[in-house]
Amino acid sequence: MANLKDLRNRIASVTSTQKITKAMKMVSASKLKRAQDAAEQARPYAERMENVLSSLASSMKGQTGGPKLLAGTGSDQKQLVVVATSERGLCGGFNTNIVKAAKAKINSLIKDGKDVTIITIGKKGAGVLKRDYSDKMIEHFDLSHVKNLNFNDAAPISARLIEKFDGGDFDVCTLFFAKFINVLTQVVTPLQLIPASFDADNSTDLGGACYEYEPDENEILEDLLPRNVGVQLFRALLENAASEQGSRMTAMDNATRNAGDMIDSLRTTYNRSRQAVITNELIEIISGAEAL
Amino acid sequence: MADKLHFELVSPARLLKSADVDMVVVPGTEGDFGVLPLHAPVVSTLRTGIVEVHDGGAAEKLLVVGGFAEVNAEGLTILAEIAKPLSEVDKAAYEAELKDLDEDVQDAKNDDERARAEKARDKIASIIEVLEREAA
């Protein structure tokens, strides 16, 4: 049996670990609130954008030669996978889940003989993916300096994506991120950013009204589609941020509870061995006295 | 409501304004246009400029950068990349940024970089131009 001093040290160290995890849980709880608010605030913009775009897209349907961002390049040979993960660890299965889903997709794409390239956002996913696909990773975006994500942080990334698309570097771009459902549930979601995909049923009913377009439809689409990529990306990053905090909160809650269990069992062992030591000493004294 | 126009101003970060007003003047790419209640459905892109919201007394002025406006039966929605009440706009900050970006343009190592820096600079320059016109 471990001696008393060792046990005392262990208890002390587990207790301080518990304090840390508890504090981290509290911090992510408050950050989660903020992230959730931000995600909610961003919703109206993204929804309206989608409405307008899908009605534009449906009116453009059947016409050939639409903007490439909408219609695609007509090929799906060159695939770009964008993996958005967190900048910091200790958030349970958050990063692992995203990376796992992305890997499955990448592997199936490779098996189909596609040319895959990877862009990562957030260093946690980049580290893991580098191990298997270091030759395919072309770029990395670091958001570790960003405390509160705003649109200006997402804009350069989407601008870069569009630049690459216009340069013919890829045909299809899929973004992997974790959609925030609630604190306990985050679902890894692949989102096709380029070419833009819309639910046909999602388009607003214009009530027979015909929009006037100023300038014309094509120019509006050309202006809106790049913006849409930015907005979708921004929204995904916000969801991701909320998911990260939710995931960390759950993980830290578990860790705090586990530490509590550990302390309980250590304390029991400690008390038992303390008793054993005392009893031993008594027996020695008594038997010593009796021997006289 | 037929005698009032429902107006919403949304930026990616948040819903800035949602109110029933008399009239809104929108800076469209092809010229400013006023939207009154029962306006015909229009979709228009925006240029950097000032949105004027008229409701009773003095007009409320907001700076918008990039985006588009949609008028439908329900009212007017402006989606802008940047949107701020004119009173909160900090011109000095934009001027400082313009200076930074000017340097970026000069420091650019290749054409790609220069094109990107110039684009960013022109955007800020257009904001300052609008602000100056408004101040005059």
Residue B77 and residue B39 share a domain: yes
How does pLDDT run across B49-103, given as a tens digit for each residue? 899 999 887 888 899 988 888 888 888 989 888 888 888 888 888 888 888 888 8
Same structural domain for residues B108 and B126?
yes
User: What structural domains does chain A harbor?
Assistant: 39-199+211-248 (3.40.1380.10)
Higher pLDDT, A97 or B119: A97
Enter the tokens of residue A167.
Answer: 């340069």
- B44 to chain A, any CB pair closer than 8 A? The answer is yes
- Taking the CB of residue A226, how many other CB atoms lie within 10 A of it? 19
pLDDT at A5 over 70: yes
d(CA B52, CA B61): 5
Cis peptide before B12 (omega within 30 of 0): no
Which CATH number goes with the domain that contains B27? 2.60.15.10
The C-alpha angle with vertex A282 and arms to A278 and A287, in degrees rounded to 5, equals: 150
Confidence of residue A7 (pLDDT cuts 50, 70, 90): very high
Q: Is pLDDT of A13 > 90?
A: yes
Same domain as B80, residue B112:
no
Of B87, B102, B123, the domain-final residue: B87
Alpha-carbon distances of B102 from A156, A166, B109, rounded to whole Å:
18, 26, 14
* B113: Cα separation from own chain's centroid: 26
Asked if A56's CB is within 8 angstroms of B81's CB, the reply is: no
pTM of the prediction?
0.83
| CA pair distance B73, B59, nearest whole angstrom | 23
Please report which confidence band the pLDDT of residue A65 belongs to, taking 50, 70 and 90 as the band edges: low
For the question of an ipTM over 0.85, the answer is: no
What per-residue confidence (pLDDT) applies to B26? 92
Chain B residues closer than 8 Å to A155 by CB:
81
Whether residues B97 and B46 fall in one domain:
no
pLDDT range class, residue B110, cuts 50, 70, 90: confident
Whether B39 and B62 map to the same domain: the answer is yes
> Chain B residue closest to A56 (CA)?
B43
Query: B116 contacts in A (CB within 8 Å)?
Result: 159
CA–CA min distance A191, chain B (Å): 19
Place of tokens 């994500």: A149
Residue B102 and residue B43 share a domain = no
Q: Which residue type is seen at B99?
A: K
| Domain identity same for B26 and B82 | yes
Contact between A120 and A129 (Cβ < 8 Å): yes
**Which domain, by its residues, includes B62?**
5-87
Does residue A173 contact residue A80 with C-beta atoms inside 8 Å? yes
Which residue of B68, B78, B123 is the best one to mutate when testing the A interface, meaning the one whose CB has the most A CBs within 10 A? B68
The percent of residues in chain A predicted with pLDDT above 70, rounded, is 92
Q: For the segment B5-32, what is each residue's pLDDT rounded down to a tens digit?
A: 999 898 887 788 888 999 999 998 888 9
Determine the residue among A217, A227, A237 to mutate to test chain B binding: the one whose Cβ has the most chain B Cβ atoms within 10 Å.
A227
The total number of structural domains that make up chain B? 2
The reply to whether B47 and B102 lie within a common domain is: no
Query: Which residues in chain A touch residue B29, judged by CB atoms under 8 angstroms apart?
Result: 214-215
Rounded-to-integer distance, Cα B133 and Cα A279, Å? 92
Q: Is A91 a catalytic residue?
A: yes
pLDDT at B25: 92
Tokens 């408004």 -> residue: B134
- A49, amino acid identity: M
Burial of B45 (0-12, 13-18, 19+ CB in 10 A): buried
In this structure, the answer to whether residues B95 and B119 fall within a common structural domain is yes
- Of residues B11, B42, B70, nearest to A45 (C-beta): B11
* Residue recorded with tokens 């800020």: B124
pLDDT at A204 over 80: no
**Using an 8 Å Cβ cutoff, are B70 and B134 in contact?**
no
- C-alpha pair distances (Å), B19 with each of A154, B23, B32, B37, B38: 29, 11, 21, 13, 16
Sign, CA torsion B44/B48/B49/B51: positive
Cis before A44? omega within 30: no
B18 with B59, same domain: the answer is yes
Confidence category of residue A211, pLDDT binned at 50, 70, 90: confident
Q: Which residues contact A81 (CB under 8 A, 6 or more apart)?
A: A102, A105, A106, A109, A116, A117, A118, A119, A173, A174, A176
Q: Which residues contact A173 (CB under 8 A, 6 or more apart)?
A: A79, A80, A81, A82, A161, A165, A192, A193, A194
Torsion of CA B63, B66, B67, B72, to 10 degrees: 50
Alpha-carbon span A248 to A256, nearest angstrom: 12
pLDDT bin (cut points 50, 70, 90) of residue A26 is very high
Asked whether the beta carbons of A197 and A174 are under 8 A apart, the reply is no
**pLDDT reported for residue A109:** 93
Same domain, B17 and B75: yes
Q: How far apart are CA A246 and CA A182, in angstroms?
A: 7
> In 3D, which of B43, B59, B51 has the Cα closest to residue B16?
B51
Question: Do B117 and B52 fall into the same domain?
Answer: no
- Is residue A98 within 8 A of residue A177, CB to CB? The reply is yes
As beta bridge partners, residue A82 has A119, A175
CB B125 within 8 A of CB B101: no
Among residues A91, A119, A238, A251, the one annotated as catalytic is A91
Locate the DSSP E strands across chain A. 78-84, 115-121, 137-141, 172-180, 186-194, 212-214
